[in-house]
Amino acid sequence: MKRLDSRTPEFEAGFTALLADRETESGRVDAPVAAILEAVRTRGDEAICEFTARFDRMKLTPDRLAIPAAEVDAAIAQVPRDQLDALEVAATRIEAFHRAQLPTDMEFTDADGVTLGQRWTSLDAVGLYVPGGKAAYPSSVLMNAIPAHVAGVERLAMCVPTPDGVLNPLVLAAARRAGVTEIYRIGGAQAVGAMAYGTKTIRPVDRIVGPGNAYVAEAKRQVFGRVGIDSIAGPSEVVVVADANNDPRLVALDLLAQAEHDELAQAILITNDASFADRVAEAVACELETLTRRVIASASWRDFGAIILVPDWDEAARLVDRIAPEHLELMVDDPRALFAKTKHAGAVFLGRFCPEAVGDYIGGPNHVLPTSRTARFASGLSVYDFLKRTTFIAADKTALERIGPAGVTLAQAEGLEAHALSISARLDKR
């Protein structure tokens, strides 16, 4: 963990190092992924079954790719009641927030008599990739599927690998609750290929979302253009801005909730009180002794953690905007005022009783957020990812007479004669 003071001359070098890229050099997988995609494109289900046998040690036939409703029912029946109830609370709240997010169509007729507008419509079909094994988070299924369902997407196909046949019942329960219409027990680049190109048993989708390993990410990159994809998530981060009127243990737990995700996660405390900074550092060390995921969290805190001392919240806001964190907690007296001073963050948590974990599960807004400083230009997942806009223009002859001549002049200036003629010939009509 790094300690920095924004008033010292060495601050700038230390802070810049903190912002440095946390991406690890993952091996290039573009060639093997291209080969898998090509096999799926040309040989369809047969290739899917071969790759699933090889990578997931599962012998499948095309008719067994889809998980039938009865199998989903049986799996859900194993889920403890309290988990199903908690899932329902989360799903209901996520649904309500994303419903409030739905945009409305726009239309107006201007002074020239031209009617202009834009109409939102949903995508027809979306593919949701869900990692298998330990990385399978039911909360992510809700966060990816519910916005698509709320947007009005009719087909919501999910692919989740089941290595050695192991299924996560809570993932299936989440899929059922979120409105997923088809579930396939396949994963990896082959699943992405199936959703992008379609096979005899799996119809193609229009957009693929959801996290995955390096093969899945590369496969999404390669099918981009044929279908839409979501952004490729990098390592995740939190910035907690806290004054001395906080319980150091609560701040420590919030930092560790980020650090326990993975070794590349980054947790940063910004405070205006040096002795509070010390107490938080001690509390982190103390909690790390007992935390289940202490190996991961310790590595993250050691390598990328930081405590930054600032003279005031104006300076804190400036640093927040330079970090552009995925998550930002504001545990200060007037969090709204500080929020108003910042510009770049994926999701913000206001007040001393709103830890980031609320947003991961049951707040309502999406937990799929821009990582690695991309909050400068990107937003979290939303209903917008499953909608697209069609703009429209309606003009009659009178309206065209008013605005058309300027169009003719510009088309001629650009050397596009048919463009100019398509307007001028209409103006010439009696």
Under rule CB under 8 A, residue 234 binds a second copy = yes
Q: How far is the CB of 39 from a second copy (least distance, A)?
A: 19
Residues 386-405 that bind a second copy (CB under 8 A): 388-397, 399-400, 403-405
Nearer to a second copy, 282 or 396 (CB): 396
Is 236 annotated to bind ligand? yes
Site string for a second copy, 347-376 (x = CB under 8 A): xxxxxxxxxxxxxxxxxxxx---x-x-xxx
Under rule CB under 8 A, residue 248 binds a second copy = no
Catalytic residue among 182, 237, 326, 356: 326
- Site for a second copy (CB under 8 A): which residue of 12, 124, 278, 282? 124
Under rule CB under 8 A, residue 338 binds a second copy = no
Under rule CB under 8 A, residue 384 binds a second copy = yes
Under rule CB under 8 A, residue 337 binds a second copy = no
**H helix intervals, 180-327:** 188-197, 214-223, 248-259, 274-288, 294-304, 313-323
Under rule CB under 8 A, residue 24 binds a second copy = no
**Is the separation of the CB atoms in 161 and 187 below 8 Å?**
yes
Under rule CB under 8 A, residue 377 binds a second copy = yes
Residue range at the interface with a second copy (CB under 8 A); choices 36-44, 182-190, 271-279, 345-353: 345-353
Backbone dihedral angles phi then psi of residue 15, each to the nearest 5 degrees:
-65, -40
Q: Is 327 a catalytic residue?
A: yes
Nearer to a second copy, 263 or 356 (CB): 356
How many residues does the structure list for the chain? 430
The Cα 11–Cα 427 span in angstroms is 66
Q: What is the DSSP string of 169-223?
A: HHHHHHHHHHT--EEES--HHHHHHHHHH--SSS---SEEE----HHHHHHHHHH
Nearer to a second copy, 126 or 307 (CB): 126
- Site for a second copy (CB under 8 A): which residue of 260, 305, 308, 332? 260
- Site for a second copy (CB under 8 A): which residue of 34, 86, 214, 299? 86
Under rule CB under 8 A, residue 32 binds a second copy = no
Residues 296-325 that bind a second copy (CB under 8 A): 297
Q: How far is the CB of 53 from a second copy (least distance, A)?
A: 29
Nearer to a second copy, 68 or 405 (CB): 405
**Is the separation of the CB atoms in 123 and 154 below 8 Å?**
no
- Site for a second copy (CB under 8 A): which residue of 114, 133, 179, 262? 114
The Cα 352–Cα 297 span in angstroms is 23
The Cα 104–Cα 163 span in angstroms is 43
Q: What is the DSSP string of 3-46?
A: EEETTSTTHHHHHHHHHS-----PPP-HHHHHHHHHHHHHHTHH
**Is the separation of the CB atoms in 342 and 328 below 8 Å?**
yes
Under rule CB under 8 A, residue 233 binds a second copy = no
Report, in angstroms and rounded to the nearest whole number, the Rg of the chain calculated over CA atoms.
26
Q: Which of 310, 222, 326 is nearest to 266 (CA)?
A: 326
**Biggest alpha carbon–alpha carbon distance for the chain:** 87
Residue with tokens 């609750």: 177
- Site for a second copy (CB under 8 A): which residue of 271, 286, 344, 430? 344
The strand pair at 106-109 and 115-122 is best described as antiparallel
Residue range at the interface with a second copy (CB under 8 A); choices 108-116, 191-199, 210-218, 308-316: 108-116
Q: Which of 272, 300, 269, 295 is nearest to 283 (CA)?
A: 269
Backbone dihedral angles phi then psi of residue 391, each to the nearest 5 degrees:
-90, 155
Under rule CB under 8 A, residue 207 binds a second copy = yes
Q: Is 326 a catalytic residue?
A: yes
User: Which residues belong to the active site?
Assistant: 326-327
List binding-site positions for Zn(2+).
258, 261, 360, 419
List binding-site positions.
129, 190, 213, 236, 258, 261, 327, 360, 414, 419
List binding-site positions for NAD(+).
129, 190, 213
